[in-house]
Amino acid sequence: MVSTDQKTDVKEKEADCPVVVAVTSHAVFESGAEDPDGLYVGGIAFPLLQALQKVNERLLKENPAESLLFDVILITTESQQQQESSRITESIRHHGLKVSRFCFSNEEDFMENLLNNNVHLFLTTNRNEALQGSQKGVLSVLLDEHTASCPTEQLRVLFCGDAVVQSEAGPALASKQAAQSFSAQIGKMRGRFGPFDSPISIALVTSRGGRESCGDALRTLRSLGVNADEAYCLAGVPRGPIKRLLRPHFLLSECFSSN
Amino acid sequence: REKMSEIKPKDKGSSEESAAEQDWAAAKAAFENLKSNKPRPVSPKPKNAVTIAVSSRTLFNMKAERKIFEEEGLEKYVAFQQEHENEPLKPGPAFPFVKALMNVNTRLRELYPDNEELFDIVLMTNNHAQVGVRLINSINHYDLTIERFCMTGGKSPIGYLKAYLTNLYLSKSADKVIEAIDEGIAAATMFTPDTELELSGTQLRVAFDGDAVLFSDESEIIVKQHGLDSFFEHEKQFENKPLAQGPLKCFLEALGKLQRKFYAKNERLNCPIRTFLVTARSAASSGARVLKTLRSWGLEIDEALFLAGAPKGPLLQKIRPHIFFDDQMFHIEGATELGTISAHVPYGIGQKYHKGKLIEQPEKKE
């Protein structure tokens, strides 16, 4: 397992409260694709990373000494990419993304990597990786093609207030605690901005229950320090069209699970 | 106006349909498993229901809160709402209408226990979700059957109206209503009268203007551009040609569908829905075309009142509808002054003649 510290243009983020987001190279780059300069082409997680960056920029604008920022690490298990590490770093730089660390590991070790790096949120396009992450108690989100068409100017987080609309990683095995502490961090970040023109937007959806279940979910979020901007109580209305309108970068449901 | 020709848009592809079926089945299962002293009926599938979306300011009286928003800004407004979260809001202009819809549902459930052809009332608001807690508490306080809502935090409700297959949208915001109508959704801007009339608790009463509400504005254009004489001639000549449909035709159709469910159970005399046409047309000359148009659409209206240009206010005061739809602000003002809860349909040529003008000459169509 090799870990490379990359000090690019990124400010050194203080160790105490950044929100560490680990993303796999499969998610960031389109596999097998190359641009004319031989660099990797942006993949599914691209808009999401841009949105995370936007949040950081705005946070620093509000307070240049802000330490509650997203700290993005890139994980790759592909040995070819590891051998061509400069291609990864060049591609990252070329696309204007800010990654503070690159972690190269093999498939067996990458979970350890997540835990050692104190990862708060793990993003992947690989279902197995997401399941493994959840089982180890790391909040893991499976990204899909919908993420690719999300906005880059605003990070949109969707909380699913009843367990029906789960994040596609499968049953909510991630410890409730990991989900709740991540949510609290998101809530805090959101609180740095006013109601208008925020680079983060938080929405809540309940699919099954009536208004009481949505009301309860709103209160649960509040107790975590998360003030949702939008709330939708579907009570059985098909969620496809609603999700298409909301365009969340990712979904979180573990805060409300009963385990 | 193809969208207006259907009460509910057709279903999309079959995979989306089956996902939707699953969503709905899960919701039904959840409801039925709820251990509650007061079992709440399951919300109907949107495609089966007559969906009425109401904004927060039409459902509740938020005048004081609105003032805070306008004078002190959004943050103060949200803070105020949160501070007063446990104080129920007072009823707004759509409140009696909503209660009347609930009563119809109760009667329908008695006659057709498992049927989904019911009214479904959805709260559709631009408010932030934090204000939503007070709205939910207020809905609880009055025990209204509103189980679905969208609190869009400032975003346009239009996409959500479509997602909920909305049959009628009521708001205090003319901009949103215009946007909805442009998208083929029946919509109207509500006005609150200063005085309250006592309204029926057992029968939903809905009054409609004719031209540019149930029907297109084609005839009104003739009046405005060519005068009354041309209008009479034209209507006589085309008496047997149905008028094109207007923005609220499909809503009348939806009401008719529910009415027939009562008729089928021999409840015609006791039907809890009654519809009224209140038109400035005259029965003698231009009225025939209207009735024939309705007949050609297979629609019934319970009472057709031809005013031949007389003011609508006094008649509406007698009818006591829970809501009255008209496209002309002149009639809306007249109705509101005498206590009728009115809803402006911003459609057609009538709008060009009311912008910025203070006093209108009464439109005499006879």
What phi and psi, each to the nearest 5 degrees, are found at residue A216? -65, -40
Residue A170 has pLDDT above 80, yes or no: no
Contact B305, B322 (CB under 8 A): no
Higher model confidence: residue A194 or residue A163?
A194
Dihedral in degrees, nearest 10, Cα atoms A201, A202, A208, A209 = -130
pLDDT score at A14: 38
pLDDT score at B38: 54
Residue A256 has pLDDT above 90, yes or no: no
Closest CB from A196, A204, A234 relative to B129? A204
Domain ranges, ordered by start, for chain B: 46-190, 204-358
**pLDDT band per the 50, 70, 90 thresholds, residue B27:** confident
Higher model confidence: residue A196 or residue B3?
A196
Residue B358 has pLDDT above 70, yes or no: no
Alpha-carbon distance A28 to nearest alpha carbon in chain B (angstroms)? 29
- Provide the chain B residues 8-37 that lie in CB contact (below 8 A) with chain A: 16, 19-20, 23-24, 26-31, 34
**pLDDT band per the 50, 70, 90 thresholds, residue A10:** very low
Q: Taking CB atoms and an 8 Å limit, are A211 and B147 in contact across chains?
A: yes
Domain spanning B46-190, CATH class:
alpha beta
Q: Which CATH superfamily is domain B204-358 in?
A: HAD superfamily/HAD-like (3.40.50.1000)
pLDDT mean over B318-326 = 97
* Residue pLDDT, tens place only, B257-269: 999 999 999 999 9
pLDDT score at A3: 46
pLDDT score at B228: 84
CB of B76 within 8 Å of a chain A CB? The answer is: no
Q: Taking CB atoms and an 8 Å limit, are A211 and B26 in contact across chains?
A: no
What phi and psi, each to the nearest 5 degrees, are found at residue A218? -60, -40
pLDDT mean over A156-167 = 74
**pLDDT band per the 50, 70, 90 thresholds, residue B31:** low
DSSP assigned state of B197: -
pTM of the model: 0.87
Closest CB from B46, B74, B152 relative to A195? B74
pLDDT score at A123: 93
Contact A70, A21 (CB under 8 A): yes
* Residue pLDDT, tens place only, B199-245: 999 999 999 999 999 999 998 888 888 888 888 889 989 999 999 99
Q: Taking CB atoms and an 8 Å limit, are B23 and A204 in contact across chains?
A: no
A236's CB contacts (< 8 A; 6+ apart) are: A207, A208, B23, B24, B26, B27, B28, B42, B43, B45
CB of A36 within 8 Å of a chain B CB? The answer is: no
> Rounded distance, CA B10 to CA B209, Å?
28
Q: Taking CB atoms and an 8 Å limit, are B24 and A208 in contact across chains?
A: no
Average pLDDT along chain B: 89
pLDDT mean over B298-313 = 93
Q: Taking CB atoms and an 8 Å limit, are A237 and B163 in contact across chains?
A: yes
Domain ranges, ordered by start, for chain A: 19-149, 155-252
Structure tokens at B19: 């996902």
Question: For domain A19-149, is the CATH number 3.40.50.1000?
Answer: yes
pLDDT mean over A242-255 = 87
CB of A205 within 8 Å of a chain B CB? The answer is: no
**pLDDT band per the 50, 70, 90 thresholds, residue A8:** very low
CB of B129 within 8 Å of a chain A CB? The answer is: yes
pLDDT score at B6: 60
pLDDT score at B11: 52
Residues in A closer than 8 angstroms to B150, CB to CB, are: 230-233
What phi and psi, each to the nearest 5 degrees, are found at residue B45? -65, 135
pLDDT score at A174: 56
Same fold, B46-190 and B204-358: yes
Alpha-carbon distance B94 to nearest alpha carbon in chain A (angstroms)? 19
**pLDDT band per the 50, 70, 90 thresholds, residue B12:** low
Higher model confidence: residue B180 or residue B226?
B180
Place of tokens 């560490």: A20
